[in-house]
Copies of this chain bind each other. A is one copy, B any other.
């Protein structure tokens, strides 16, 4: 696949303009563009520009989500809040929720916000990093369309439900563990299918109980409901799949039971008559103010010492490097900081079509002849 890099300022301006054209107010468009492109900055291609059209623009156009975000705090205590996002932009709901949690943590030591009636909020790590950059430990999770099967089950019941942590360190990058509680996500399987690669055995279960590996077949089966993703730890209990299943369940609960929101099969985005409908996703955001426990620099030093010791420990034969969470994303940023965001051919076509459709003719992409 032919990638062409686009300068960061250019693409940010473009995405901002596109979001504004879709009715997102200036300040909110800034947040949405920042969350979207932060994914590309970290090298997480699955959640970046490739999602601009299918996940955000198409859903706004289809009235599945609203470009204007009515962020309503429906219940509030000194350290807690429940917010209703009224199906606005998930990124705006996410950023405002984590901001509220951080503000509460700065005042009382801890803060937690539970959001309901939200939409896809992009990379969970964005919100965890908001906290870690502000001297807090950030924890966040979101529910999602059902796709993980329970241990000993075959139905896709739970979302890929990330359980995400951001922790301040004294290194150039924070510890950011941003991962689904499934082994792989649909986006990864799509990438394998595009490259003609099989999916590793033990990551997807067919409804006959066997492990599937043909990436194309898997994608079809996932849609038809005849396959499901396996939780972290894999099939059955031998390699402790019940742990990943358990963590996915924790996230499902924290994203719906605290907010009185939808869960599992209520999050398919498909109505009773097969029509597309609102997702009504839920998220949670926790901020822990480090200074309430210990001076921040001391905390950062210990965290850094732990990470350095891990990286400096003995390598397995055939490996010359151990990575800690957030490191690969930082390396991706260093690599593309100057050159810009690498855009694949499919996304190049989408960006041109969006530009033409909106008549944003002042943008001429480097990949256009």
Interface residues of chain A, those whose CB is within 8 Å of chain B, are 75, 77-80, 82, 108-112, 114, 137, 149-155, 157-158, 163, 165, 167, 175, 177, 179, 181, 183-184, 200, 202-203, 205, 207-209, 232-234, 238-240, 242-244, 246-247, 249-250, 252-254, 256-260, 263-265, 288-290, 292-294, 298-299, 302-303, 305-307, 309-311, 313-319, 321-325
In whole angstroms, what is the CA distance A257 to B175 when docked? 13
A232 and B238 contact, CB distance less than 8 A: no
Copy number in this complex? 2
**8 new A-B pairs (CB below 8 Å) besides A82-B293, A152-B316?**
A154-B313, A154-B314, A163-B247, A209-B318, A256-B302, A257-B302, A257-B306, A260-B294
A293 and B250 contact, CB distance less than 8 A: no
A325 and B246 contact, CB distance less than 8 A: yes
A253 and B157 contact, CB distance less than 8 A: no
A151 and B250 contact, CB distance less than 8 A: no
CB within 8 A of A153: which of B240, B288, B294, B316? B316
- Closest CB of chain B to A230's CB: distance in Å? 9
In whole angstroms, what is the CA distance A157 to B353 when docked? 51
Collect the chain B residues with CB atoms within 8 Å of residue A310's CB. Answer: 150, 153, 157-158, 249, 264
CB within 8 A of A157: which of B247, B265, B313, B323? B313
B298 and A179 contact, CB distance less than 8 A: no
Given A79-B79, A108-B79, A109-B78, is A258 in contact with B290 using a C-beta cutoff of 8 Å? yes
B77 and A292 contact, CB distance less than 8 A: yes
A234 and B239 contact, CB distance less than 8 A: yes
Collect the chain B residues with CB atoms within 8 Å of residue A149's CB. Answer: 313, 316
7 contacts between A and B (CB under 8 A): A108-B108, A157-B310, A165-B250, A239-B239, A249-B310, A252-B306, A263-B306
A240 and B184 contact, CB distance less than 8 A: yes
A249 and B177 contact, CB distance less than 8 A: yes
A298 and B260 contact, CB distance less than 8 A: yes
In whole angstroms, what is the CA distance A230 to B321 when docked? 17
Using CB atoms, name the residue of chain B closest to A234: B239
Using CB atoms, name the residue of chain B closest to A75: B293
A323 and B151 contact, CB distance less than 8 A: yes
A294 and B77 contact, CB distance less than 8 A: no
- Closest CB of chain B to A97's CB: distance in Å? 13
